[in-house]
Amino acid sequence: MQFPDFSRKQWRVLIILMLVNFVNYVDRQVIFSLFPAIRHDFALSYEQLGYLAAAFTVVLSLSTFPLGMLADRFSRRSVIGAGVLFWSAATFLSGLAGSFRTLLTARAMVGVGEAAYAPAGTAVLSAVFPKDIRARIQGSCDVGMFAGGATGIALGGIMAQSFGWRSAFFLVGIPGLLLGLSAMRLPESPREQSEERMRLRDLLRVPAYLAVLLAGWFASFAGYAYVAWGPDLIQEQKGFTAREAGMALGLTVVLGGALGIAVGAYLSDRIARRWTWARALIIPVGFLLGAPTIYVALHSTGKLLVLVFFGLGSFFMSWYHGPLTATIHDLVPPSGHATALGLYYLFVNLFAMALAPLIIGWAADRYGLINALHIPIVSQLIGGACFALVVFLIRRHGLHHPVFEHHWEKKPLLPSQFAVETES
């Protein structure tokens, strides 16, 4: 199936979820361009700034798994819509914070809403679209993630310099309130005819899935460290103003990241046509190629060189987005898609992304920010090696591990059937 063959309802699902992902990452990452202004306003250390990112991530982590299970058992569109409304309201309230503690609480509440989206949204996409284009569909939705993240960084820098950091939260919180109402009108995704649900203990008996969790820890630690401290790095260490940092880094990340998502997803789907075990093979290649470019960016003195090499690093690292979700959904029966991804996000968010800003902030206070950012480069390389282990285990045990045999024998509604039924 090709993109032009999509039904009207399939296009509607894809566009709405891309927009939700866009707003998700605008609200999530706008704060990083505001770090210097917030630090000066509240007289904070780097480590305290790290707590702003960590509080959001801890709440996001703890909420993702139960909300993923809720989405698998009840209404995925209701979980998505309610989540968008909640995180947008919390983002708006962040601009009203009169103290560091109040801002910390508001950012933590953003995590509750955003936790509702990813497991349910990706499960809807895998249910609605055919398996042979799974990585490209997930990657297409993730383009909204990179565009939203870059827009958040850019808007944060512009608004902070022109109108103050509080105005940025007001501006980015409003669109989500409207989009949440649109998400409530998504068609419900098809379900298996059997009422039996996948057991968590069975999921934890699949070696390839456990290897994905391990690989995701190192990959997420590295990626979030770059996102959290990149704006501060180029403002404080590379001579950019807040406006320049937001505009330049935002454009660099969205171009490099969006192109990398498209390339990685396309290569992953192409390789999977020949070897079913090889969908994740593109991930360690991207991580290996991206590590030296990040290193060069950290140690470059010219503004153009910094941006060029950060852009290349974003390009190679973002290869993993589409293949990662597609690989998890390949390994797990449809009845457990949201649960499996919810557990993945619980693990990597709580034990990697929540720690990354704190560890890098602690190291930056003691050894300088540039030296501290060598840590995620090492983490990135280890993550690539672990993703190679995922490929090995899939080759050894197959995509459909025996523990899920009775689930795979069920006959769920096919995406092609869904497309026909939703047109009526």
CA gap 146, 150 in Å, rounded: 6
Residue 295, pLDDT > 90, answer yes
133 within domain boundaries: yes
Tell which wins on pLDDT, 76 or 414: 76
Could you report the per-residue pLDDT of 61-107, keeping only the tens digit for each? Answer: 788 778 877 777 777 778 888 888 888 888 888 888 888 999 999 98
Closest CA to 132 of 18, 272, 5: 272
pLDDT tier, 405 (very low <50, low <70, confident <90, very high otherwise): low
Q: What is the pTM of this model?
A: 0.68
414 within domain boundaries: no
| Exposure of 201 in the CB half-sphere (CA atoms within 13 A) | 0
421 within domain boundaries: no
The CATH number linked to 289 is 1.20.1250.20
CA gap 393, 112 in Å, rounded: 34
192 within domain boundaries: no
- For the residues 316-337, what does the mean pLDDT come to? 84
Structural domain of 114: 3-184+198-409
Output the six-digit token pair for 188. Answer: 């419900």
191 within domain boundaries: no
- For the residues 211-239, what does the mean pLDDT come to? 86
pLDDT tier, 372 (very low <50, low <70, confident <90, very high otherwise): very high
190 within domain boundaries: no
417 within domain boundaries: no
Residue 213, pLDDT > 90, answer yes
When divided into structural domains, the chain yields a total of 1
> Which helix (H) or strand (E) segment is 214 a member of?
helix 207-236
Tell which wins on pLDDT, 149 or 214: 214
374 within domain boundaries: yes
Could you report the per-residue pLDDT of 141-168, keeping only the tens digit for each? Answer: 777 776 777 788 778 878 877 888 888 8
Output the six-digit token pair for 22. Answer: 């866009």
Closest CA to 138 of 121, 114, 116: 121
Residue 130, pLDDT > 80, answer no
Could you report the per-residue pLDDT of 8-38, keeping only the tens digit for each? Answer: 778 888 888 888 888 888 888 788 888 888 8
Output the six-digit token pair for 355. Answer: 């720690």
